Amino acid sequence: MFTKAITKKPCKALIDGISTAMFGEGTPIYEDAVKQHDKYVATLKELGLDVTELEADERYPDSCFVEDPAVVMERCAVITNPATDSRNGEKLEIVSTIEKFYDKSQIFYIEAPGTMEGGDVMKVGDHFYVGLSDRTNAEGAKQFNDIVTKFGYTSSTIPVTEGLHLKDFVIYLENNNMLVSTLMDKEPSFKDFNRFVIDPDELYAINSMNINGTILVPDGYPKTRKIIEDLGYPIKLMDTSEFGKIDGSLTCLSLRF
Ligand code: CIR
């Protein structure tokens, strides 16, 4: 069960966020992004989470994607080392918030030359799948493994060859169910999960998010919505289109623990 979340308001500089346009063309409209973000936060609260809402930080265009500079779990927290220059400083900003919830002895840091971003870390029970991507390297994954194993967790790596972060291409819905891209469907590490392959034209909807049994699903992806509903999960449709324009989706917008 999640009881808490951390979010960070989008800043006006969001329009300069990094984008590969993999999920949507164009520049985000700040006012619409704020409305979508407000709805996102309200939905987390409706689902029972105590949400710590951080103020916008104009120095970091992508800083509303608060999932990336930290990975939080029950027994410890890891401050990551974001790979891009424009995002790296976000790790320094998140520390004081993480310190409100974890003792200093439970907080660890990925150090250079290791890089990592939380979008590459997918938790399944006490195991973490860590994507090796343009943003998370083998050294970062090794340091992460060294940290979490001290607390009784395990981790393993998954190559990410088709885009930004691991969780853009595979998401764990709980109950052994997983949404996967065509490529992730072939990943040997996932062979024992019930895998549901998402149509390539609905790739953005893979990043749906289970909050205590309810699945938040990006609006506008009917085939994925039907797969999730047919599995029996209650769903809430969320419009995150402004964030999609700069490669952001549902899980990126919060830390949940
Ligand atoms: C970036 O390229 O870093 C941002 N524009 C998008 C980050 C999305 N984060 C995530 O999926 N965890």
119 lines ligand 1 (CB under 6 A): yes
Residue 167 clears pLDDT 90, i.e. is over it: yes
246 lines ligand 1 (CB under 6 A): yes
DSSP string for 58-86? TT-TTTT-TTSSEEE-SS-EEE-B-SSHH
pLDDT tens digits for range 231-246: 999 999 999 999 999 9
Q: Does residue 76 carry a catalytic annotation?
A: no
Question: Across residues 85-97, what is the average pLDDT?
Answer: 98
pLDDT of residue 163: 87
Q: Does residue 37 carry a catalytic annotation?
A: no
pLDDT of residue 21: 84
Amino acid at 131: G
69 lines ligand 1 (CB under 6 A): no
Homologous superfamily in CATH for domain 4-256: L-arginine/glycine Amidinotransferase; Chain A (3.75.10.10)
pLDDT tens digits for range 114-161: 999 999 999 999 999 999 999 999 999 999 999 999 999 999 999 999
Question: Across residues 13-33, what is the average pLDDT?
Answer: 93
Query: How remote is the C-alpha of 222 from its chain's centroid?
Result: 22
Residue 24 clears pLDDT 80, i.e. is over it: no
Residue 74 clears pLDDT 80, i.e. is over it: yes
Cβ-in-10-Å burial (0-12, 13-18, 19+) of 41 comes to middle
Q: In a mutational test of the pocket of ligand 1, which residue from 7, 20, 62, 66 has the highest number of ligand atoms less than 8 Å from its CB?
A: 62
Name the residue ranges covered by the structural domains of the chain. 4-256
| Average pLDDT taken over every residue of the chain | 97
Residue 25 clears pLDDT 90, i.e. is over it: no
Give the Å distance between the CA of 26 and the centre of ligand 1: 16
Q: What phi and psi values does residue 156 have, to the nearest 5 degrees?
A: -145, 165
pLDDT of residue 80: 98
Cβ within 8 Å of residue 89, ≥6 positions away: 59, 60
65 lines ligand 1 (CB under 6 A): yes
- Of 81, 98, 99, which is closest to residue 90 (Cα–Cα)? 81
Give the Å distance between the CA of 247 and the centre of ligand 1: 6
Q: What is the CA radius of gyration of the chain?
A: 17
Instruction: Place 38 in a pLDDT band, splitting at 50, 70 and 90.
Output: very high
252 lines ligand 1 (CB under 6 A): yes
